[in-house]
Amino acid sequence: MVFAGVFAFAVATADESNRALVFGGTGRLGAPIVELLVEAGYPVTIFARPTSNRERLAGLDVDYVTGDLLEGDSVTAAVNEQPFRFVIDASGRGRSTERFYDTAMRNILVAIADSDVQQFILHGSVGAGDNVKNFPDIPFGRMMDTLNAKGEAEDLLKASGITYTIIRNGRVLPYGTPATGTGELTEDDTVMANITRLDLASLTLQCLDNPDCFNKTFHAQDPGLEAYSR
């Protein structure tokens, strides 16, 4: 099963019952997701650190709550600000040596355990956890600690009982690369491919409140781009 195309999603009813909480919303992947959410009529709240640069979201009608994903109390306080139907996690912490991804996931799951969240969309990486075994020829090297943490985050989400969608990417092209409109999501977990951030954002919205995406793990690919170079 694949989902493809840019802006090929239904416009949401613009009311508070459809509010989305976005982690990493000021980032290079999160910002395009937020922009499309706003265009589609979703009320959006961004969880951001006090020092996060918000320039990518300039002019957008969004709310902010501040905190740090590594500080559980601040995550819980953010979730308690208002009810959320959707959670989208596009967060990242670069090459940090901290156990960021699994710690962040634990904090988020504790915070939303008794909430109204109906779907959690997690953006992850090809090679996370056990998936690395499908790519024996790729020298992940220094990325292994990060991939292990991302794999643990995925496992925590799957075990939580919350309806989830996991979207893994192989190589995301540089910020500002135009969308192709040919990005796809596949359940083939041997795929390692290139894709743009704008196409990932579009595919995210296609999976929002979409039963065809519930409790599934996808790999993103784009037949319109050159194959991923190993």
Residue 13 in this model has a pLDDT that exceeds 70: no
Residue 97 in this model has a pLDDT that exceeds 70: no
pLDDT tens digits, residue range 192-227? 999 999 999 999 999 999 999 999 999 999 998 876
pTM above 0.75, yes or no: yes
DSSP for 62-102, written as a single string: -EEEE--TT-HHHHHHHHTTS--SEEEE----TT-SS-HHH
Query: For 227, which DSSP code?
Result: P
Nearest alpha carbon to residue 182 among 206, 204, 199, 201: 199
- Per the model's pLDDT, the better-predicted residue between 7 and 109 turns out to be 109
Total Cβ atoms within 10 A of residue 18: 20
Domains and CATH numbers, the chain: 16-221 (3.40.50.720)
Q: Average pLDDT for residues 86-114, to the nearest whole number?
A: 89
pLDDT confidence bin for 16, thresholds 50/70/90: confident
pLDDT tens digits, residue range 173-185? 998 899 999 999 9
